[in-house]
Every structure is written in structure tokens, then in C-alpha cells.
Structure 1
Amino acid sequence: MRPPLFVALGDSLTEGVGDRTGGGWRGWAALLAPSLCAGPVRFTNLAESGAQTRDVLERQLPAALALRPDLVSVVVGVNDTLRRTFDIRDVAARLDQVYAACTGQGALLLTACLPDPGGMLGLPGALARPLARRQRAVNTVVHALSDRYGAAHLHACEGDWTGDRAMWSADRLHPGEPGHRQLAVRFHALLTERGAATGPAPSPEPDSPAPTRWESLCWLATAGTGWVARRCTDLLPQLLSLAADEIRHRARGTTVRLDLRTTTAVSAALAALSTGERRPGAA
């Protein structure tokens, strides 16, 4: 009998950014893999920094399906919210196709909802709230589709860990080693409840010292600044427009209209999937 195969799809979170070991990144998925059973486990990480739902659908998914995995994690969507082209209907359509393809091969699906990037970065309210709406929209879609496809779903946007600064790396967007270990422990608990993990839980204790303040500042001044710039440049003009809209509605006391607009868009996106409607360009 072949050892089980775990394939991880997604963006920098799953790639392991924030949990450096040796000459590269490790991350929660690599920490989780050895704990799936008492024997050997095969593990392939296809996640890439900066990946959006389109990248997962068009590049990572075909490679994953060719391997015929037993367990597939799909954690993606934050980078979509940081783009001016963000459309929740496109995100929903792509995720639906990815989930359907993985479960269609008999793989167990592992998913998660995530904290909003504006809140984690500590942006001013007028800038943070539009990003928070986008991330809530993505999380709502992920919740609904995870239920539809029987995924083991982690509510990673909830819990005290999101506000614990010790869990996060210098950029405040990616977990540090303690945060990645926390994710691995929580994913393992979910899979154990499903009977899909039989090995001992990953250790929550870091095996490397936390980066010094100087090391963190150096990272932010070099790689970290580049990381943020590459992902947010095309969003900035639109984000300023969204912030201005936020301020106007707040002054009029009509912020609820913005929330309602997002809720309506999410409902329409999920309804379109139920009727088989495909957004142009979704894939």
C-alpha cells in the first residue's frame, strides 16, 4: 500500500513565508505532513508566493491532479483582495472549480478562512474597512464551498492567536514559526476528528529562536518592502477611492449600504454557482 500523499496549494502562507529554516521556507503544511500518520507520508508543496485563485486553478491544480493526492489543502484568496481586479464572483467560480476537481478525484479537501490583511497591517480604518469587506466576502464563499464539498475547514480568522503579536512575523501579514505551528496543530486536530490523521500532533513549540528586532527590521527594509510593493501597487489608486467612498458613507451614516452591497455580491456569486453560470474570464 502506497504512503498517503498530501499536496498543498495556495500562496505565500502555505509556501511557508515567515517560518524560515535552513535556506528556505517551511510553514504549516510541511509541519503538518509528518503528523498525518505513524508511517511515511509523501508531501508536495505547490504553493507560490503571490498566487491568486487564478494561479491555483490554472497552474497549481493540474500539477496536483497529476499526482492523484489523498489530501489537498487549498488556502488562497488574500492576494485576490489586494488587486484592483478583485471580483468575488470570479473568486467563487475559480474556487468552486478547484474544490470540485480535487474532491472529484476522491481527495479530502483542507481549507481555511483568513484574517483580513488591512487589520493585520494596522491600516487606518478608512483603508482597512474596504479590505476587510473583501476578505469577509472571500471567507463567506470559502465557508459555503467547504460545506458543499465536505472539506475539513479551519476558521483561522478566529481565535486569540490572530491578535497575539508573538504568532506573527515582522511583516504582520505572515505567521512566524509559532503561528505556522499553531496552524499545523489546529489543522491536525480537525483531521483527527475526521479520522484522516492518525499520527501524533505537531509540536506547538518553536525549534528556532525568534528573529531579533534588528533581523526583523532588515527583512522589512529589503525583502518585506518588495513583497508588499509587488502586491499592492495596482491596488493603491482604487484603495484610495474606496477609502474616500468609506469616509463619505461614514459621514452620512450610510456605511450599512457598503456592507449590504458586499453581502448582495456574495449571494449573487454563490447563486451563480448553483445555476451553473460561469463568469467570463473566470477560467
Structure 2
Amino acid sequence: MRPLRYVALGDSLTEGVGDPVGNGWRGWAALLAGGLSEPSAEFTNLAVSGAQTRDVLEKQLPAALELRPDVASVLVGVNDTLRSTFDIEKIAQRLDKVYESFTRQGTAVLTACLPDPGTMLGLPGILGNPLARRQRAVNTVVHTLSERYGAVHLHAVDDAWIMDRAMWSADRLHPGERGHRQIALRFHAMLRHRGIGTEAAPSPEPEFAPPTKSASVLWLATAGTAWVIRRCNDLLPQLVRLAAVEIRHRARGTSDRLDLRAAHSVSRALAALGMPESVGSGEYRRAPQPIVLPQHLTLPEGFTMPVPGQRSPEPEAA
């Protein structure tokens, strides 16, 4: 019997940024791979820092399908929210093709809803709200399509550990080792429920000491600064424009219209994929309660996961 094959797709989160090992990154996907099967799973990490949904669809997906994986994780979308080219309809179309391609091949798909970068960076409302609105749109699409294709879905955005500063690296955008381990633990518990994660779960305790304050400052002054400059070249003009719109609506008392407009955009994006509207007027689709893992890392009694390839019932309107 061949070893289980696990392929990871996505951006810097899945590449492992924030969890340094030697001269490279490890990350949650590599930690998860170690507890999937015996013999050890064949793990391939195709994630690339800065990747957007287009990169996953056009570059990473073809390479992944050739490997015919048993499990594939697809965590992407945050970088799309940081670009002036943000288009929720195109994002939905790309993710639908990626999830459908894996499901048709019989691959179990891992997905996640993630916090918005503005919140993690502590940006003021006029700058953070537009990014939060975009990330909510992406999360709604990811969540709804995950139900459509029976994906193993981690609604990480509402987990309590997300707001624990000790879980994050110096840049406040990527998890540190502790944070990567939390993601791996949660995915392992859900996969075990499906009979896939049969080996021991990763330890929640870090293997390495966290970076010193001076090392973190040095990273922010070098690699971190370079990252900000690359993003600002594209995002800053767009963010200034979005902030101006935010200020204007605040002055008029019509800020709710921005949320309504975003919700309608998500509804149109999902309707274009042949799905009924999954968001109500002015608010995003209500997400389920986050899974709370007990110490022995089993799922709550009565918790069920959909069968890979089987569509769940369509979500009700919020």
C-alpha cells in the first residue's frame, strides 16, 4: 500500500512563514503531515509567499493534480484582499474550480476562514474596515464553497487563540510556531474524525524558543520592511481611496451601505456559480461556532463531517 499523499497549496501562511527551522520555514502543513499516516505521508508543499487565488489555480493546482493526492489543503485569499485588483467574483470562480478539481479526483480538501490583516495589524477603522470587509467576503465564499464540496473546513477566524499575541510572529500577520501548531492540531482532529489522521497529533508546545526581541526587531527592519514596501506599491493608493470612501460615508452616517454593497457582491459571486444567495441584506453569512478542542484532541460528541465529494445541503439565508 502506497503512503498517503498530502499536497499543500496557498501563500506564506502554508509556506510556513513565522515558523523558522534551520535556514527555511516549516509551518503548520509540515507539522500536520507528520501525524497523518504510517508509513509517513508523502508531503509536497507548493505554497509560495505572496500567492493569490489566481496563482493557486493557474500554477499550483496543475502540479498538485499530477501528484493525485489523498489530501490537499487550500488556504489562500488574504493576499487578494491586499491588492487593488480585488474582485470577489473572480476569487469565487477560481476557488470553485480548485475545490471542484480536487473533489472530482477524490481528494479530501482542507480549507479555512482567516482573520483580516487590518485587525491583526491593529489598523485604525478607516484603513482596517475596507480590508475587513474584503476578508469577510472571501471567508463567506470559502465557507459556502467548502460546504458545497464537503471540505474539511476550519473556521479559524473566531477561534480564541487568534487574538493571543503569543501565537503570532513579529510581523503580526503570520503565526509563530505556537500558532502554526494550533492550526495543525485543529486540522488533525477533524481529519482523524474522518479516519485520515491516524497517527499522533502534533504537540501544541513549541520545539524552539521564540525569537528574542532584538531578533524580531532586526527581522522587521530588514525582511519585514521589504515586505511592506512590496505590498504598498500596489495596495497603498487603493487603500487611500478606500479610506476616503470610508470617511465620506461616516460623515454622512451611511457606513452600512458599504457593508450592504459588499454583501450583495458576494451574493452575485455565488449566484454566478449556480448557488442560491447565502448572505442576507447588509450582513455576511453567519458562520458556525468554532470547534473547541479538549486536551485529548477528539471532536465534540455528535460532531459530524461531510463525506468527501458529497455536497452538503445548501446554506440557509442569514
TM-score (normalizing by structure 1): 0.96
1:259-274 pair list within 5 angstroms: 259-274=259-274
Could you tell me which residue of structure 1 aligns to residue 219 of structure 2? Answer: 219
Gaps of 5+ in 2: 276-318
Contact 2:3–2:39 (8 Å) recurs in 1:
yes
- Listed as ranges, the matches of 1:241-252 within 5 Å are 241-252=241-252
Which residue does the alignment assign to 2:161?
Answer: 161
Q: Summarize the alignment of residues 94-109 of structure 1 with structure 2, pairs less than 5 Å apart.
A: 94-109=94-109
Can you list the C-alpha shifts for 1:57-99, whole angstroms capped at 9, x where unaligned? 0000000000000000000000000000000001000000011
Query: Aligned-pair distance for 1:231?
Result: 2.4
Three-state SS of the structure 2 residue aligned to 1:118 is helix
Are the equivalent residues in 1 in contact too, given 2:11–2:48 (CA < 8 A)? yes
Native 8 Å contact 1:18 1:175 kept in 2 = yes
The answer for the alignment partner of 2:120 in structure 1 is: 120
Task: Describe the SS at the equivalent of 1:174.
Answer: coil
Counterpart of 1:231? Answer: 231
Shift of residue 252, structure 1, vs aligned partner: 1.6
Q: For 1:189 and 1:216, how far apart are their aligned partners in 2?
A: 32
Cα separation, 2, equivalents of 1:159 and 1:61 = 29
Partner of 2:5: 5
The farther-off stretch of 230-239 and 212-221 is: 230-239
Q: Secondary structure at the match of 2:50?
A: coil
Question: What is the deviation of 1:34?
Answer: 1.0
Structure 1 stretches of 4+ moved >3 Å = none
How many Å separate the matches in 2 of 1:49 and 1:219?
A: 16
Deviation at 1:228, TM superposition (A): 2.2
Task: Please name the residue that 1:198 is paired with.
Answer: 198
Q: Is the 8 A contact 1:79 1:231 kept in 2?
A: no
C-alpha distance after superposition, 1:122-179 (max 9, x if no partner):
1111000000000000000000000000000001111111110000000000000000
> Distance in 2 between the 1:3 and 1:194 partners?
17
Measured in 2, the distance between the counterparts of 1:164 and 1:229 equals 27
Give the match's secondary structure for 1:233.
helix
Answer yes or no: is the 8 Å Cα contact 1:35–1:201 preserved in 2: yes
User: Identity over the aligned pairs, expressed in percent?
Assistant: 71
- Return the alpha-carbon distance in structure 2 between the equivalents of residues 108 and 73 of structure 1: 8
TM-score (norm 2): 0.85
Query: Counterpart of 1:58 in structure 2: which amino acid?
Result: E
What is the distance in 2 between the residues matched to 1:179 and 1:267?
32
Q: How does 1:13-32 map to 2 (within 5 A)?
A: 13-32=13-32
Equivalent positions of 1:78-97 (< 5 A) are: 78-97=78-97
Letter in 2 for 1:121: L
- Report the Cα offset of residue 24 of structure 1: 0.1
- For the 8 Å contact 2:3–2:37, the answer to whether it is kept is no
Higher mean alpha-carbon deviation, 112-121 vs 224-233, is at 224-233
Cα distance in 1, alignment partners of residues 29 and 228 from structure 2: 23
Secondary structure at 2:234's aligned position in 1?
coil
The 3-state SS of whatever aligns with 1:62 is: helix
Tell whether the 8 Å contact from 2:3 to 2:38 is kept in structure 1 after alignment.
Answer: no
Q: Could you tell me which residue of structure 1 aligns to residue 54 of structure 2?
A: 54
Aligned to 1:280: none
TM-align CA RMSD: 0.9
User: How many residues are aligned here?
Assistant: 275
CA distance in 1, matches of 2:202, 2:145: 27
Matched, 1:130 2:130: yes
Retained in 2: the 8 A contact 1:11–1:47? yes
Higher helix share: 1
Deviations 1:187-213 (A, max 9, x none): 111111222211111100000000011
Amino acid at match of 1:244: A
SS of the residue aligned with 2:204?
A: coil
Conservation of the 8 A alpha-carbon contact between 2:15 and 2:48:
yes
Specify the code of the residue in structure 2 equivalent to 1:141. V
